Amino acid sequence: MRQVFLNCGFTVKSIGITSDGIDTNELSSLAPDVIYLTPSRQFPTGVTTSLEKRIKILEWAKLHGAYIIENDYDSEFMQNNRVIPSIQALGKGERVIYLGTLSKAISPSIRCAYYILPKPLVEVYEEKYKHYNSALPSFVQLAIANFIKDGHLEKYIRKISVLNDKKFKILSDSLKKYLPKDVETIGSSGTHILVRICCCTNERELIAFMKERGIGIHGIKKNYNSLKAPENVFILGFSSISEEKIESYVKHLADALSEYISSKR
């Protein structure tokens, strides 16, 4: 999204992340016209914005006449966390542009996204975009509408959420069981876990080392807009792996990490 905003000619500034969401003190000092958030899950840290902070952000937007773009990313996979109302719901849609997709709930190949506009922006949208056509075919929109209306989407999301919770627990337990002591888990999201490999000082080197052993991991440096981006924190995804294979994959990962750590001593 940073690049999208830059391509549109906007000035973009970053706001730091705390354990319960963005740093609202930084927000007050920057005073932006629009703030873009993923409060359900910040990627890649997995931080969920607290209810108290959501209310504070909403009050700030009302006070300064600013808009909030709320991307409800990863809200389907909360891993038994209590459900927190969206900022859009808390503010009754007044200052919030609410975005979401069905990429994880159904399939990314459907290419279905949606948004809910505050009433004052509906007329602006209709005037500026009335000559644009949706990239989503009408028959797909109709099928999705019926899928939602008949209650199938809600049931399906519940089903895959339960399955994801099982996978997450298996992965967490397996990591605790097999990972070398120089590796620690430091966070998670709906579909991945973050690990810190303490002896690693070069992200690219470790990624290449693991790739030679048939293991794909991803660093998080590219997600930072700072020179302080860590070289030793990596993402382990699990949503596409079957329950039966997770433990054996973790064993393979642990063996490769042990080999890497030994080479650094």
DSSP 212: T
Beta bridge partners of 22: 17
Domain identity same for 43 and 143: yes
Confidence check: pLDDT of 37 > 90: yes
Contact between 53 and 20 under an 8 Å Cβ cutoff? The reply is yes
Q: What is the pLDDT of residue 82?
A: 65
Query: Looking at 95, 118, 150, which one is the last position of a domain?
Result: 150
The CA-atom distances, in angstroms, between 175 and each of 46, 140, 179, 233, 261 are 18, 40, 5, 15, 16
CB 144 within 8 A of CB 112: yes
Mean pLDDT of the chain: 90
Give tens-digit pLDDT for 139-174.
999 999 999 999 999 999 888 888 888 999 999 999
Q: For residue range 230-262, list pLDDT tens digits in order.
A: 999 999 988 888 999 999 999 999 999 999 999
Last residue of a domain, one of 133, 150, 167: 150
Both tokens assigned to 253 = 């990962």
Look up residue 191 and give its amino acid: T
Asked if 140 and 160 sit in the same domain, the reply is no
Number of domains in the chain: 2
CA dihedral in degrees (136, 141, 144, 149; nearest 10)? 150
**196 and 143 in one domain?**
no
pLDDT (0 to 100) of residue 240: 84
Nearest to residue 78, comparing CAs of 158, 170, 174? 158
Burial annotation 99-129 (CB, 10 A radius, 16+ → b, else e): bbbbebbbeeeeebeeeebbeeeeeeeeeee
CATH number of the domain to which 194 belongs = 3.90.1150.10
140 and 201 part of one domain:
no
**Are 176 and 145 in the same domain?**
no
Count the neighbouring beta carbons within 10 Å of the beta carbon of residue 229. Answer: 14
In terms of domains, do 116 and 35 share one? Answer: yes
pLDDT tens figures, 61-117: 999 999 999 998 878 776 555 678 999 999 988 899 999 988 888 888 888 889 999
Q: Are residues 160 and 233 in the same domain?
A: yes
CATH of the domain at 74: 3.40.640.10
**Predicted local distance difference test score (pLDDT) of residue 78:** 66
| Same-domain pairing of 207 and 92 | no
Q: Which domain holds residue 236?
A: 156-263
Considering the domain architecture, whether residues 166 and 107 belong to the same structural domain is answered as no
Query: Does residue 29 have a pLDDT over 90?
Result: no
Q: Which two tokens stand for residue 240?
A: 């596409």
pLDDT digits (tens, 9 = 90+) for 175-209: 999 999 999 998 887 788 999 999 999 999 999 99
- Residue 80 has a pLDDT of 55
> For residues 265 and 248, what is the distance between their CA atoms, to the nearest angstrom?
26
pLDDT in tens, 107-143: 888 888 899 999 989 999 999 888 888 888 899 999 9
Q: Are residues 145 and 29 in the same domain?
A: yes
Looking at the fold, whether 8 and 138 belong to one and the same domain comes out as yes
Would you give the distance in Å from CA 15 to the centre of its chain? Answer: 16
